[in-house]
Amino acid sequence: MLETDVCIIGAGPVGLFAVFELGLLRLKAYVMDTLPVVGGQLAEIYPRKPIYDIPGYPSILAGDLIDRLMEQIAPFQPGFGLGQKVVGLEAVEGGRWKVQSENGEVVLAGAVVIAGGLGCFEPRKPDLPGLAALEGRGVTYMIRDPEVFRGRRVVLAGGGDSALDWTLQLSEIAGDLTLVHRNSSFRGAPESAARVQALADAGRLRLLTSTALVSLEANAAGNLSSVTVQTQGQPAWSLEADDLIPLYGLTPQLGPIADWGMVLEASAIQVQTDNFQTSVPGIFAIGDINTYPGKLKLILSGFHEAALMAHGAYRHIHGGAKPSFKYTTVTGVNGL
């Protein structure tokens, strides 16, 4: 088990800057994120988009802002648990918290800071009856090791880049491969679409465009046995399958945060604005995930919230003691 002063959930810009503000108060931080990289949506969704409202930068690319933040927090040597989805949060003795990830990593922290942004990015699921019961029994949303599909009858669904890329990869591995796409054409990379079409023409895979998933059928053991599909203007039919992989992109979900007992308002965590603590003492929330009167979902507001949170977290960890306030111009970053 890992021990730290503060566990930050979310490695977006605000979670990263929180490391800095905590560091100024000599609090060690451990940052966890579902995504395998730091930067949150700035890295995952719009790394090449310019941001115009970061003070001191007339324009900065989202990805560059993350690089700068990583440079800025480096002196504080934060720990990182990336690709770790936090699923459990449990109060332990002394006002401390036990944070647990899906993969079983456990972090013991004096305070927890939720900087979860839009929430966790989770796979978007098709609306099919009985889908949940077949998850892990043939229905899967992420391909970690393509080899597990060797020789199997696989149905992929979706029309974006990841559906096309995985179709190309699995065409060498799967025993029988079908790509189902609701539209008549693909919006993914044209060269990938052309290669998928060529493989379909060569009989290496089944390409069903203008086709919708209708229902799923299971065998006696409760595993997926077939997928019923319907091409526009034609009757529905069943396609025998061992695996269905819906690839409809990711969508932000509040996720397990909703189960941790904090007061929420319209999918955001209510906080007090003097220290950005939630309704649960020792749990703080900063950035896009929180709400309070006058809240603006701006990176710069999140930075401000991080500074006040750090002082609140210090008091929580040090039994109410007030940290001494210093300017970095006077003391540098290690001068406390």
Partner 1 sequence: MQEVQITVIDVCGTVKELVFPTRLGLSLMEALKSAGYPLEAVCGGMALCATCRVEWQEGAVSEPNEAELDMLDTLPDQQPASRLSCQIRLESLTDGQAILRLNPTKF
Distance (Å, whole) CA 39 – CA 103: 21
Which residues, at least 6 apart from 116, have a Cβ–Cβ distance to it below 8 Å? 9, 10, 255, 257, 285, 287, 289
Residues 37-56 that bind partner 1 (CB under 8 A): 41, 45-46
Among 210, 267, 270, 279, binds partner 1 (CB under 8 A): 267
DSSP structure class, residue 135: B
Stretch touching partner 1 by CB under 8 A, among 62-70, 124-132, 148-156, 276-284 = 124-132
157 binds partner 1 (CB under 8 A): yes
- Binding residues for partner 1, total number by CB under 8 A: 26
Torsion of CA 125, 131, 136, 138, to 10 degrees: -100
Stretch touching partner 1 by CB under 8 A, among 15-23, 55-63, 104-112, 245-253 = 245-253
Residues 78-107 that bind partner 1 (CB under 8 A): none
Stretch touching partner 1 by CB under 8 A, among 76-84, 89-97, 116-124, 328-336 = 116-124
Stretch touching partner 1 by CB under 8 A, among 64-72, 120-128, 139-147, 216-224 = 120-128
Tell me the per-residue interface mask from 177 to 216 with partner 1, x by CB under 8 A, - otherwise.
-----xx---x-------------------------x---
To partner 1, the closest distance from the beta carbon of 207 in angstroms equals 16
124 binds partner 1 (CB under 8 A): yes
CA angle (221 as vertex; 151, 139 as ends), nearest 5: 55
CB–CB of 316/110 below 8 Å? yes
Burial tier of 151 (Cβ tally within 10 Å: 0-12, 13-18, 19+): exposed
Residue in the block written with tokens 């730290």: 4
Helix (H) or strand (E) holding 21: helix 13-24
User: Which chain residues interact with partner 1 by CB under 8 A?
Assistant: 41, 45-46, 118-119, 124-127, 157-160, 182-183, 187, 213, 246, 248-249, 251-252, 266-267, 288, 297
